[in-house]
Amino acid sequence: MNTTNLMLCAVSAAALDICALILILAAYVERKTSTKKWRRSTGGMELAEQNAVYPLDCDEILIGRHASADIRLPDISVSRYHAMLTISDGLWVITDIGSKSGVFVNGNLVQRAILRENDVIKVGTRRLVFRKRRDKRDR
- For position 93 contacting other proteins by CB under 8 A, the verdict is no
Question: Which of 47, 63, 71, 84 is close enough to bind other proteins by CB under 8 A?
Answer: 84
- Position among 5, 50, 51, 108 found at the interface with other proteins (CB under 8 A): 5
Q: How far is the CB of 38 from other proteins (least distance, A)?
A: 6
53 binds other proteins (CB under 8 A): no
DSSP structure string for the chain = --HHHHHHHHHHHHHHHHHHHHHHHHHHHHHHHHHHHHHHHTTSEEEE-SS-EEE--SSEEEEESSTTSSEE---TTS-SS-EEEEEETTEEEEEE-S-SS-EEETTEEESEEE--TTEEEEETTEEEEEEE---GGG-
Residues of the shown chain interacting with other proteins in the complex, contacts defined by CB under 8 A: 1, 4-6, 8-20, 22-31, 33-34, 37-38, 40-42, 57-60, 62, 66-68, 81, 84, 86-90, 97-98
